[in-house]
Amino acid sequence: KQISKISIKAQVPTFESIARGISKGEYKKIIIMCGAGISVASGIPDFRSPKTGLYANLEKYNLPYPEAIFDISYFAEKPEPFFTLARELYPGNFEPTPVHHFFKLLEKKNVLKRVYTQNIDTLERCAGVSENKIVEAHGSFATASCQNCGEEYKAIDIKSTIMSGKIPYCKYCEKGIVKPDITFFGEQLAQKFWWHESDFPKADLLIVMGTSLQVEPFCDLIKNVPQNCHRLLINNVEVAVNRSSGYRKKTDMGFKFNEKSNYRDAKKIGDCQKSIKELVELIGWNKEFKKLMKKK
């Protein structure tokens, strides 16, 4: 009896205890940080998975180095590889996955503070998550702008040009390339990214999903939640933010999800789609979840 009185937050969390906590309404400000792994099931490859990831399959783009495809100075000289990739990834070709629908379910339950996604595929929007609940930290294909005059476009305005294998040029200045508003290496992050400064200190649960936590400064956000905020990693391999600079000590807020001394982190290693279905089942939201997925 004594033990059951202790708040769930005073215990080292597990996947199951977090499910229980969600079910009991103990987490009210859940932040999601996600990456390419959550969209793999929709048919979009991630970057870093060996064999299937984009970086392992870039021969056809003839790049000097893998990241060049998203490098702004390389793009200025040679935009073709990016647009070849854009043709493959363009919104409208893919369906959201159960993980994306889970985000919507959290929103419906009024416990979603925000989804911070590194993905550019707009699948969170496609699942119906409200725009003000999504931070597309690396931008997205949803809008585009002229690299010369700054004129703004919608995805649909340049879609047919991209799909026909051509480079979209600005119809106003007739000089600049219209580039989807995806943040390239060497560019400023989307303005909304800075919402993290007020969001993260308020979180009571952080779920990190389908990301290798390799891209800065996004990966650093995992340490910005309060010290008593539980963090759950759902990924098919263990990941950690490897840099030590800026952290007060090795286990400072458990930035290594696999550290034993991490008192407030839980992990579920395996396919994220399977794990989310299991989580939903444990929470007891199965019926609504299925209904939500059918609706799409």
Instruction: Name the site residues for ligand CNA (rule: CB under 6 A).
Output: 35-37, 39-41, 44, 46-49, 53-54, 118-121, 138, 210-212, 214-215, 235-237, 239, 271-272
Smallest separation (angstroms) from ligand CNA to the CB of 99:
8
Give whichever of 54 and 146 is closer to ligand CNA, judged by the CB atom.
Answer: 54
Is 62 within any annotated ligand binding site? no
Is 118 within any annotated ligand binding site? yes
Give whichever of 49 and 251 is closer to ligand CNA, judged by the CB atom.
Answer: 49
Smallest separation (angstroms) from ligand CNA to the CB of 2:
38
- For the record, the structure tokens of 2 come out as 């004594």
Active-site annotation holder among 100, 101, 138, 196: 138
Smallest separation (angstroms) from ligand CNA to the CB of 216:
10
Smallest separation (angstroms) from ligand CNA to the CB of 262:
18
Is 229 within any annotated ligand binding site? no
Is 47 within any annotated ligand binding site? yes
**100 given a catalytic annotation:** no
Q: Report the C-alpha gap between 153 and 235 in whole angstroms.
A: 35
Annotated binding site for Zn(2+): 146, 149, 170, 173
Known catalytic residues?
138
Annotated binding site: 46-48, 118-121, 146, 149, 170, 173, 211-212, 272
